[in-house]
Amino acid sequence: MSTERPLILVTNDDGIFAKGIRNLIEVMVELGDVWVVAPDSPQSGMGHAVTINNILRLEEVDYPVSGVRAFSTSGTPVDCVKLAIYRVLDRKPDLLVSGINHGANSSINVIYSGTMSAAVEGAVESVPSIGYSLLDHSANADFEPCKPFVKKIAEAVLKNGVPKGSCLNVNIPKLPLEEIKGVKICRQAMGSWEDAFEKRQSPWGSEYYWMTGKFQNPDKGEDTDEWALANGYVSVVPTQFDLTNHHAIGTLNQWDFDL
């Protein structure tokens, strides 16, 4: 039986020295040998973007957690995963963890999230992957209540793996540890953003726009991530990169496409 410690890759979208990723690293060093490849600056909202029209820089950095090797990149979270697997590591990791994100990635937010796109890229590479997010956007957010859940879920994935083609989207409510009721396996709530663009003026007189918006959730199901979070639970949504609407195939096959 192998006694080799698991190889764990850590990344994020808030930047390599963000408070969230440091807390994630502090948990992961208890579980395995940790390598970090993360952006050198915030990359929130990048989704599954990859860098194809610019150079990518990769630099090893000193990290304030003992025993960790860390690299910063000029690229997106997905770039980080690709660089880690194909240039930094000598084998695929046993686990990829992304986060802990400053802010929620529940419901439709998973589509835009750099944190979750890194986890999805791990799934594409057949690496068991988890994206973690805390419902607190503050740079000084308290991540301590997250740690027991981060560790327990990571241990479960190391032991059991994840279904093929999937990763886990984990969101943690902003609550003291004693007020978090537990973990719920959920589906993604069918919410959306009502977007708005504020028209503003620069000090030099030129006009520009700043995107704002309001999250709308008409989905009142009690099996959703939004319900779980609102009711004090950690939500875990199995998320896949296959975007096919399989239920619609039968419908489309009844349409007439003949010329």
On whether residue 205 sits in a domain, the answer given is no
pLDDT of residue 218: 85
On whether residue 202 sits in a domain, the answer given is no
Q: How many helices (H) and strands (E) does the chain have?
A: 7, 11
DSSP 25-81: HHHHTTTSEEEEEEESS--TT-TT----SS---EEEE--SSTT-EEEEESS-HHHHH
On whether residue 211 sits in a domain, the answer given is no
- Identify the bridge partners of residue 69 per DSSP, sorted by sequence position: 35
- Inter-residue contact 90 to 138 (CB < 8 Å): no
Distance CA 132, CA 171 (A): 6
On whether residue 206 sits in a domain, the answer given is no
Count how many residues are written for the chain.
259
Q: Provide the residue range defining the domain that includes 236.
A: 7-189+221-253
Sign of CA dihedral 178, 183, 189, 191: positive
Distance CA 71, CA 10 (A): 10
The structure tokens listed for 132 are 């973690």
Distance CA 37, CA 252 (A): 43
Query: Among 109, 132, 106, which residue's Cα sits nearest to residue 119?
Result: 132
Q: State the total domains in the chain.
A: 1
- Inter-residue contact 180 to 253 (CB < 8 Å): no
Query: Among 75, 90, 85, 112, which residue's Cα sits nearest to residue 213?
Result: 112
On whether residue 210 sits in a domain, the answer given is no
- Identify the bridge partners of residue 102 per DSSP, sorted by sequence position: 134
- Identify the bridge partners of residue 168 per DSSP, sorted by sequence position: 130, 238
On whether residue 34 sits in a domain, the answer given is yes
Query: Among 162, 116, 127, which residue's Cα sits nearest to residue 7?
Result: 127
On whether residue 153 sits in a domain, the answer given is yes
Burial of 111 (0-12, 13-18, 19+ CB in 10 A): middle
**Per-residue 3-state assignment (H helix, E strand, C coil) for 81-102:** HHHHHHHHCCCCCCEEEEEEEE
On whether residue 209 sits in a domain, the answer given is no
How many other CB atoms are there within 10 angstroms of residue 170's CB atom?
Answer: 30
Q: How confident is the chain (259 residues) per 10-residue block, as mean pLDDT?
A: 82 95 97 97 86 94 93 96 97 97 93 95 98 94 97 98 97 97 95 86 92 85 95 98 95 94
Tokens 């779980």 sit at which residue? 228
Can you give the CATH number for the domain in which 154 is found?
3.40.1210.10
Rounded to 5 degrees, what are φ and ψ at 124? -60, -35
